[in-house]
């Protein structure tokens, strides 16, 4: 009893799994990774908060309590949780329609969104609904991510060029606005931004642990302070409040909830898909612990609750930070705890240092981060390998770019489902022939020189027979019968690959059997799985087919057919369908 309770508690609080066995040898890697990611989080958190339409300080708040909560509840030991570019853009997109009256009101909407995301993710985890994210196929995520990365990049042009641009997530509107205002570029701001991009982009070539974003921040602050660039129009962050985040409360106004729920669902699914994908990649390299999709949802839900009640905004696991965390030697989520401590120290003692930080540097941080999200190889790869998936990727990409983030991801999910339904409605079907000199039967379209009898049609259906595909199956069978000039005297259904038959499938199968027999074409079945045989018995299909027309394998059915040509009877053959006690 006690062991059962302890195991359940460890399942809900994975920190209890690794913390009691924590080794001193792990501390070096966790300390190195925690400090490296913490340093990385400072400029990233501030930049992503700005992308979300919030004051930069809220990006730092979002990497304190949320990190600690994930460290307690998360099953991944290397995942680095916090603000990411995609979720930040989705946050800005979702709140924009509420037309906040003030920054304070905007913040309340952000807190509410974080609370809703936490509620959805925690609820999905508690109800074991982690599988839902599978409806976001890889091509959809790839197309959506690439399009969103372009939109994010264009949204930062106003900070990089210091020009006035509307807040929009439609590429056509952004492109027109940039073209109209391109002559207003503030060249000093642009120069600082370009220097920042170069440092962040190529700093890693010096050494993989080189804190390029932090160096860019220091450089930007030094340039502004040293040359008093604010008097020349360079926009800076200004006062950054010091101290720990105070308790906050989301709004429980139902009207706000109705508006924010669609984007909350989008963030929940996209955030979890991104987070779990990178967590699986890293876990595969270590293999000393297990990931649990439902517990990950609970952990991310708790992290978002932390953001909602401590002045943050929606968070998830990030690709780049997790990779850095792993490369820097993280062994457990102690690394995240160390990162959170570093952010707390920054909030307590060092916020004044960021007063002269140029907004162009934060834009540079975002631009470099999202440039890696644009995937050029995947569409080329899919074009050669899978046209269906290529079409989904391109459609999601174009819809996201032109109609917006939320419409793009919902369209992508719908497209994924439509493709699944389309493929399920067209199961693979094969005509079978005998390999000469054997009792083996194979697909006549894949093997040559098979023995095929003109008046014997052997068919294998690879998949369930149900309401969505019965018409396709019947049309295919009719076509094959017509191709043989209606000379088919016997249809042999190989059922080894049929996994299920629903009520519609059973009804149609019964109709087919009666119709064919009235037209002079007999039917028999082979290799029926136990669960499918149970269904056929329940709907009296085997009774309709006839116990003497059901066989263990194809060879028995063919032998019976050949005998029928001589004796016009199948009575000699003992079928297994009548042996109801046999389970296959």
| The pLDDT of residue 67 | 94
pLDDT bracket for residue 168 (50, 70, 90): confident
Give start and end residues of each alpha helix (H) in 350-469. 359-371, 377-385, 387-403, 405-424
The CA distance from 464 to 427, in Å, is 8
Rounded to a whole number of angstroms, the distance between the first and last alpha carbons of the chain is: 38
What is the model's pLDDT at position 565? 65
Average pLDDT over residues 485-503: 91
Say what the pLDDT of residue 348 is. 93
With bands split at pLDDT 50, 70 and 90, how would you rate the model's confidence at 527?
A: very high
Q: Which among 22, 11, 72, 78 is positioned nearest to 292, based on CA atoms? A: 11
Instruction: Starting at the earlier edge strand, list the strands of the sheet with 522-526.
Output: 441-443, 428-434, 456-462, 490-494, 522-526, 550-551
pLDDT at 569 over 50: no
CA 328 to the chain's CA centroid: 26
- Rounded Cα distance between 52 and 289, Å, is 34
Tokens standing for residue 561: 């057919």
Residue 577: pLDDT band (50, 70, 90) is very low
- What is the predicted pLDDT for the residue at 6? 66
Q: 493, 467, 488, 480: which is closest to 550 by C-alpha?
A: 493
Sign of the dihedral defined by the CA atoms of residues 509, 511, 514, 516, in that order:
negative
The full set of domain ranges for the chain reads 13-420, 427-578
Q: pLDDT > 70: what percent of the chain?
A: 95
Contact 224, 236 (CB under 8 A): yes
Q: Which residue has the higher pLDDT, 35 or 209?
A: 35
Residue 581 has what pLDDT?
33
Choice among 169-173, 311-315, 331-335 with the minimum mean pLDDT: 169-173
Is residue 313 helix, strand or coil? coil
How big is the chain by its Cα radius of gyration, in Å?
31
Residues 6+ apart with CB under 8 A from 194: 364
Among 79-88, 284-293, 328-337, 537-546, name the one with the lowest average pLDDT. Answer: 284-293
Of the pLDDT bands very low, low, confident and very high (cuts 50, 70, 90), residue 24 is confident
Contacts of 566 (CB under 8 A, 6+ apart): none
The tokens of 175 are what? 């492109």
Q: For the chain, percent helix, then strand, then coil, each to nearest 5?
A: 65, 5, 30
pLDDT at residue 1 in the model: 44
pLDDT at 575: 39
pLDDT (0 to 100) of residue 578: 32
pLDDT of residue 497: 93
pLDDT at 583 (0 to 100): 36
Q: Which of 27-31, 229-233, 288-292 shows the lowest mean pLDDT across its residues?
A: 288-292
The pLDDT of residue 60 is 95
pLDDT more than 90, % of the chain: 50
User: Per-residue pLDDT averaged across 105-120, rounded?
Assistant: 96
- With a cut of 50, say whether residue 579 has pLDDT above it: no
| Residue 567 pLDDT class (50, 70, 90 cuts) | low
pLDDT band at 2 (very low <50, low <70, confident <90, very high): low
pLDDT range class, residue 281, cuts 50, 70, 90? confident
pLDDT averaged over every residue in the chain: 88
Give which of 97, 40, 51 is closest to 313, Cα–Cα.
Answer: 51
Top-level class of domain 427-578? alpha beta
In the chain, how many H helices and how many E strands? 25, 8
The pTM of the full predicted model, rounded to 2 decimals, is 0.77
pLDDT, tens digit, for every residue of 122-154?
999 999 988 877 777 788 888 888 888 898 888
């Amino acid at each position: 009893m006690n062991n059962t309770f302890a195991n359940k508690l460890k399942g809900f609080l994975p920190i209890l799994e690794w913390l009691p066995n924590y080794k001193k040898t792990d501390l070096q890697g966790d300390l190195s990774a925690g400090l490296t990611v913490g340093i990385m989080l400072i400029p990233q958190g501030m930049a992503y908060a700005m992308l979300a339409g919030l004051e930069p300080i809220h990006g730092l708040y979002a990497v304190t309590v949320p990190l600690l909560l994930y460290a307690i509840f998360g099953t991944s030991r290397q995942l680095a949780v916090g603000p990411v570019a995609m979720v930040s853009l989705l946050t800005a997109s979702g709140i924009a329609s509420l037309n906040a009256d003030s920054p304070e009101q905007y913040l309340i909407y952000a807190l509410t969104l974080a609370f809703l995301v936490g509620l959805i993710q925690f609820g999905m985890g508690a109800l074991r609904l982690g599988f839902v994210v599978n409806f976001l196929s890889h091509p959809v995520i790839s197309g959506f991510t690439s399009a969103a990365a372009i939109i994010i990049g264009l949204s930062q042009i106003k900070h990089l060029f210091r020009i006035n641009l509307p807040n929009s997530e439609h590429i056509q509107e952004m492109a027109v606005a940039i073209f109209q205002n391109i002559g207003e570029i503030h060249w000093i701001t642009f120069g600082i931004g370009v220097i920042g991009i170069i440092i962040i982009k190529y700093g890693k070539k010096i050494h993989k642990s080189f804190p390029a974003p932090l160096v860019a921040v220091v450089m930007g602050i030094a340039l502004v302070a040293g040359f008093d660039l604010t008097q020349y129009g360079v926009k800076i962050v200004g006062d950054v409040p010091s101290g720990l985040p105070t308790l906050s409360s989301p709004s429980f106004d139902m009207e706000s909830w109705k508006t924010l729920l669609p984007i909350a669902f989008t963030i929940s699914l996209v955030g979890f898909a991104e987070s779990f994908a990178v967590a699986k990649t890293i876990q595969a390299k270590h293999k000393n612990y297990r990931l649990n999709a439902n517990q990950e949802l609970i952990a991310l839900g708790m992290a978002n609750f932390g953001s909602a009640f401590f002045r943050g905004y929606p968070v998830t696991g990030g690709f780049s930070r997790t990779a850095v965390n792993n490369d820097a030697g993280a062994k457990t989520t102690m690394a995240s705890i160390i990162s959170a401590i570093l952010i707390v120290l920054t909030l307590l003692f060092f916020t004044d240092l960021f007063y002269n930080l140029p907004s162009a540097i934060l834009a540079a941080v975002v631009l470099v981060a999202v440039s890696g999200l644009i995937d050029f190889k995947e569409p080329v790869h899919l074009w050669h390998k899978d046209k269906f998936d290529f079409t989904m990727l391109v459609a999601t990409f174009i819809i996201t770019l032109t109609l917006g983030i939320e419409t793009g991801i919902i369209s992508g999910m719908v497209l994924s489902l439509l493709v699944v339904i389309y493929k399920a409605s067209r199961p693979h079907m094969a005509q079978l022939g005998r390999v000469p000199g054997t009792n083996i039967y194979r697909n006549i379209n894949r093997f040559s020189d098979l023995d095929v009898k003109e008046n014997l049609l052997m068919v294998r259906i690879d998949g369930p027979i149900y309401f969505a595909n019965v018409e396709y199956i019947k049309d295919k069978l009719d076509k094959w019968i017509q191709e043989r000039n209606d000379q088919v005297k016997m249809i042999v259904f190989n059922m080894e690959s049929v996994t299920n038959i629903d009520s519609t499938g059973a009804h149609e199968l019964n109709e087919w059997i009666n119709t064919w027999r009235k037209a002079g074409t007999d039917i028999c079945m082979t290799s029926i799985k136990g669960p499918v045989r149970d269904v056929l018995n329940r709907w009296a299909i085997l009774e309709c087919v006839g116990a003497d027309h059901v066989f263990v394998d194809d060879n028995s059915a063919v032998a019976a057919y050949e005998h029928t040509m001589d004796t016009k009877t199948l009575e000699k053959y003992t079928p297994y369908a009548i042996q109801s006690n046999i389970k296959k």
